[in-house]
Amino acid sequence: MTAERVDAGALWDRILAGNARRVAEILRAYGPRTRSELVTLTGLSRPTVTAGLAELTGADLVTEELSSAARPAGGRPAAVVRLTRAAGLALGVDVGRRHVRVAVADLGHTILTERATRLDRDADDHPYEVLDVATALVDHALEATSATRRDVVGVGLGIPAPITRQGRIGSAALLPAWAELAPGEELAARLDLQVRVENDANLGALAEYLWGAGRGCVDFVYVKLATGIGAGIVLDGRLYRGAAGTAGELGHVTLDARGPLCRCGNRGCLELTAGGRALLENARLTRPDLADLGELVRLAADGDPGCRRLLIDAGTQLGYALGGLVNLINPARIVLGGELRGGAPLMREPLRRGLADTAMAAPVHAVQVVSAQLEQRASALGGVTLALGVVSAS
């Protein structure tokens, strides 16, 4: 390798090799690490790691600096090695019902910029138009960091629907206009970059695992409370996707088999009582001018009795739906995110009561219910983690 500038994609596809590549892959996935940590994570000897780092340093792909973290035993902070910007950039793209958000990071796990735009029309019905918007926003975000597509090694794309292992919409009824296309392939064709596509709640789980409320916790459930309800499940430090790739569709857990018909084709789903669409529809019976979920949460926090009741009841229903999951996988945390995250203080105790009614005492006692930390940024940042390869999927 040399310090001569090459496309980041070519660097990772054809140029990085041998032990230098192994060290670089670990730094890309795990972020800045000490030399001792690199020995452990790579499984290579210390001299071999040192030789790999020397090769990467000669190509200006790594730098070594003192860690800001205090050492437990005192003394000088350990030096950590991190990939430089020359190693490339990772992009996250989050498509929501009424927004597109893009995040750009270097391969040293530093977020460089984020950009978002509101959509004039629901993304559900206009996939090609939305992907065009996403493409333009990617270029705008790259320009803000004085970068181009040549600097990008990968893109993670989030879609608010179940995604199969083949990268297609897992239920045509949930996002019918998108059902006939492969979103990742469509965006890849526009950008001429490698794109991996994933459910937006799964990406939220990955982001909270690396940067937010899931840090240090290898078994947790991230719940995205928005227009719909989705869950990302992390088990033993790995994203759990299931046999078809569609695990985590919490909003379509049936609570009442004789209940009203859901858009997924089943009856009595959680979304019909606790999803954002249902909450807004009910709230507008008494507040017809209610703008969005954010206003509903603000009114509830200010003491509006109707909005408070809706969130409290939603918390209880969410607890019922999560009870079976808590029994089955015994998570350490439930992380509440999405547009309704601000309602978590009202929803938390009803949720725990719902859990107590539907799950065994031991796993209910063991699980923490906490608010997500990344708010609306979670899915875009999760796309970055997907491009970095931070958490492998099972």
Is the domain defined by 216-373 classed in CATH 3.30.420.40?
A: yes
Q: What pLDDT score does 390 carry?
A: 79
* 334/110 Cα distance (integer angstroms): 26
- Give me the sheet containing 89-95, strands edge to edge: 111-118, 99-106, 89-95, 152-159, 195-199
Q: What is the mean pLDDT of residues 61-81?
A: 74
Alpha-carbon gap, residue 267 to 286, rounded angstroms: 26
Averaged pLDDT of the chain: 92
pLDDT of residue 391: 63
Pairing of strands 152-159, 89-95: parallel
**Interval 319-341: pLDDT, tens:** 999 999 999 999 999 999 998 98
* pLDDT of the residue at 4: 54
Looking at the predicted structure, is the pLDDT value of residue 73 above 60?
no
For residue range 117-139, list pLDDT tens digits in order. Answer: 999 888 888 999 999 999 999 99
| Structure token pair of residue 108 | 């040293």
| pLDDT at 274 > cutoff 90 | yes
Cα separation, 103 vs 211, in Å, equals 14
Provide the token pair at 278: 């249902």
pTM value? 0.91
pLDDT value of residue 3: 47
Domain 88-204 has CATH 3.30.420.40: yes
**Residue 195: what are its φ and ψ, rounded to 5°?**
-130, 130
* % of the chain exceeding 70 in pLDDT: 95
pLDDT of the residue at 143 = 97
CA distance 325 to 238: 17
For range 256-281, the mean pLDDT: 93
| Architecture of the domain defined by 8-86 | Orthogonal Bundle (1.10)
* Segment 350-372 mean pLDDT: 96
- Confirm whether 8-86 and 88-204 share one CATH topology: no
Exposed / middle / buried, residue 150 (Cβ in 10 Å: 0-12, 13-18, 19+): middle
Report how far residue 332's alpha carbon sits from residue 334's, in angstroms, rounded to the nearest whole number.
7
Residue tagged 């990344």 (tokens): 374
Rounded to the nearest 10 degrees, how much is the dihedral formed by the CA atoms of 210, 212, 218, 220? -130
Q: What are phi and psi of 264, to 5 degrees?
A: -80, -10
> Once rounded to an integer, what is the mean pLDDT over residues 355-361?
96
Mean pLDDT for the stretch of residues 12-38: 94
The mean-pLDDT minimum among 71-85, 143-157, 159-173 falls in 71-85
Dist. CA 353–CA 26, nearest whole Å: 42
Task: Express each pLDDT in 182-211 by its tens digit.
Answer: 999 999 999 999 999 999 999 999 999 999
- Quick one: pLDDT at residue 131? 97
Indicate the domain borders of the chain: 8-86, 88-204, 216-373
pLDDT at residue 5 in the model: 60
pLDDT tens, position by position, 286-320: 999 999 999 999 999 999 999 999 999 999 999 99
Q: pLDDT tens-digit profile of 95-113?
A: 998 899 999 999 999 999 9
